[in-house]
Amino acid sequence: MNKPKKRRLLLPREEIAWFPELDSTLCNGCGDCEDFCKPGVFALGEPEGVKRAKMTVTNPYLCIVQCTRCEPVCPSGAISLPRPKDFDHFVEYVD
């Protein structure tokens, strides 16, 4: 059985603009993304007046480059990520 290769970034993480964006008009503040994301990219923002608080991307550079697992978790479709293929040149695979 072949072991999966490990991924290594070719630049410091802070130089790679891979992170989710949240559409606040779609976000319902449910917190599913915060519960799901182990690195801790999302957090609940401040309420806006009498409106329910929305989720925010509070730690964008904790997001794992090319991870897209949070997108389908969002019930309102508020999360979007760049295309993983566009970031292939930032990653190399090693044994």
Burial state string for 37-48 with b = 16 or more CB within 10 A and e = fewer than 16: beeebbeebeee
So what's the pLDDT on residue 1?
67
So what's the pLDDT on residue 95?
82
- Alpha-carbon gap, residue 41 to 63, rounded angstroms: 6
**Residue 88, domain member (yes or no):** no
**Residue 93, domain member (yes or no):** no
So what's the pLDDT on residue 49?
77
**Residue 60, domain member (yes or no):** yes
**Residue 17, domain member (yes or no):** no
**Residue 46, domain member (yes or no):** yes
Please give the model's pTM, rounded to 2 decimal places: 0.87
**Residue 59, domain member (yes or no):** yes
**Residue 71, domain member (yes or no):** yes
The CATH number linked to 30 is: 3.30.70.20
Name the residue range of residue 36's domain.
24-83
**Residue 28, domain member (yes or no):** yes
So what's the pLDDT on residue 48?
78
- Joined together, the tokens standing for residue 26 give 């779609």
- Alpha-carbon gap, residue 84 to 58, rounded angstroms: 21
pLDDT in tens, the chain (95 residues): 677 789 899 999 999 999 999 999 999 999 999 999 999 999 999 887 777 899 999 999 999 999 999 999 999 999 999 999 999 999 999 88
Domain count within the chain:
1
